[in-house]
Each structure stands twice: as C-alpha cells, then as structure tokens.
Structure 1
C-alpha cells in the first residue's frame, strides 16, 4: 500500500512538473506571438497615420490650391469676352504663376504617376508667362493683342493633365473626409 502511495505521489509530482514545463513553454510562445501581433499592429497604425498625414498635407498644400487655381482660371477664360487686361493680369497671370510655383515648390507631394502631367503643366505655364512678359511687361506693351496664348508657340494647354490633377484631388479629399 505504501508503495502505491509513493507511486501515486511520484506520478502527481511528475505530472505537476511536466504540466509546469509545458505551461511555461506555452506562456512564452503566447507572449512572443502577442508581442509580434502588437508590433505588427503598431507598424500598421504608424503606416496608416503617416499615410493620412501625407494625404492631409498633399490636399491642403498642393492639390487643393491647384484645384482652386484651375477653377479660377477656367472661370476667367469663360468670362473673357473682349480684351480685359485686369482679368488677364490679376487672375490669369497670378493663378498661372501660382500653379507653376506650387508644382515646383511642392513637387515632393506629387505622386509619381503624375510627374509627366506636372511637367506638361509647368512647361505650358513657363511659356505662357514668358509670352505674357514679352507682350505685357515691356515699355511698350502690346495691348492690342487680344489675349496671351502659349499654344501658338507649340505648347497648348494640357487640359488632360489638369483633369488628372483634379481627379487626384477629389480622390484624396474623399478618402480623407468621406
């Protein structure tokens, strides 16, 4: 009887030791998996936050202002019936310069798939501003010219590039605020 009691006691003790070892192994494995999941979650959250911050910056500093200046110049062109030097100088020139400068100064916010469109717009505005300077900002401005155009110099307005930037602005804005 005493021997059975010893066997039972040894079995209980052995079982407790084995259970403790297995429990420690599972606990460590669970802690490791939990830490990996937490780390991955934090990385995803950081990535998501940085993406959100970039979108906010891109919308507020580049795409939003571009959208308004595109709209402003389009409305000015629709209003332009006869020679209107004020409209041309104050609206067209200011917005054209602003669009070009935004594209150049905030180029780090331009998505890679929009680089070609940005280059097309910058090139057009460079030529337009050069023509404006030649025709309007000289000692004897050519005020008889109806309107300044860059198209005749081989640089027509890249309307499709404008549309692509507007589309991107709306996509970014909707992803942030809708």
Structure 2
C-alpha cells in the first residue's frame, strides 16, 4: 500500500500541474478569442453606424430635398400654359437651380449607383439655366419664346435619372425608418 501511495502522490501532483497548465493555456486562448470577437464586433458596429449616418444624411440633406424639388418642378411644368414668367422664373428656375446646386454641393452624399444620373441632371440643368439666362434674365427678355427647353439643344430632361433618384430616396428612407 505504501508503494501505491508513493506512486499515486507524484502522479496526482504531476497531473494537477499538467491540468493547471492546460487550463491556463485554454484560459489565455479563450481570452484572446473573446478579444478578437469583441474587436470584430466593434469594427462591424462602427461600419454599421457610419453607413447608417451616411444614409441618414443622404436622405435628409440630399435625396429628400431633391425629391421635393422634382415634385415641385413637375407640378409647375404641368401647370404651365403659354408664357407664365412668374411660374417659369420663380418655381421652375428656382427648383432647377436648387436641384443642381444640391447635386454639386452634396456630391459626397450621392449614392455611387446614382453618379451617372447626377451627371445627366447637372448637365441638363446647366444647359437649361444657360438658356434661361439667354432668353429671360437679360434686360430685354425674349417673351416670344413660349417656354425654355434644353431638349432641342440635345439635353432632354433625363426622366430615368429622376426616377432613379426618387426610387433611391424611397429605398433608403424605408431602410432607415421602416
């Protein structure tokens, strides 16, 4: 029995030491994995918050305002009969300028898939505003011209671009607030 105890005692001590060593190794490994998971979560959360804030700014500072200006100028265009200088100068010109300026000033908020559409709109509005200045802003405006159009100059209004902007507004707004 003494011989058994002499063998058992060193075996218990050595197995305890090995168990503690293995436990410490696994504890350290678990802490490392937990830290990596925590870091990855924080990175993902930062990316999510950044994307969310960008989308929120895009909707509130760009897309929402453009959406309202599109509707405003469409309603004015549909009401336009003959030569209505007030409607043309105060609503259409103002709306066209606001949309163009928003696109230029808030370009960093334009979703990547709408860049080509934005360029088409800016080009159309630049030509339209140039024509407006040529025919209406001068001291002797040309009142014979019924309406200012950029289409005959090869710069028709890009309806598809307007539609894409409106769709993106609805998509982001629903994603953020629905």
TM-score (norm 2): 0.97
Matching residue of 1:116? 116
Q: Distance in 1 between matches of 2:154 and 2:86?
A: 26
Q: Mind listing any 5+ residue stretches in structure 2 that lack a counterpart?
A: none
Aligned-partner Cα distance in 2 for 1:76–1:91: 7
After TM superposition, list the pairs within 5 Å mapping 1:44-63 onto structure 2.
44-63=44-63
User: Which residue of 2 is the match for residue 101 of structure 1?
Assistant: 101
> Could you say what the CA RMSD is over the residues aligned between the two structures, in angstroms?
1.0
Alignment pair present for 1:12 and 2:15:
no
Superposed CA deviations along residues 131-168 of structure 1, whole A, max 9, x for unmatched, are: 11111111111123211111111111111111111111
Moved over 2 A (4+): none
Alpha-carbon offset, residue 57 of structure 1: 0.7
- Displacement of 1:112 in angstroms is 2.3
User: How far apart, in 2, do the equivalents of 1:139 and 1:94 lie?
Assistant: 19
Structure 1 residues without counterparts, runs of 5 or longer: none
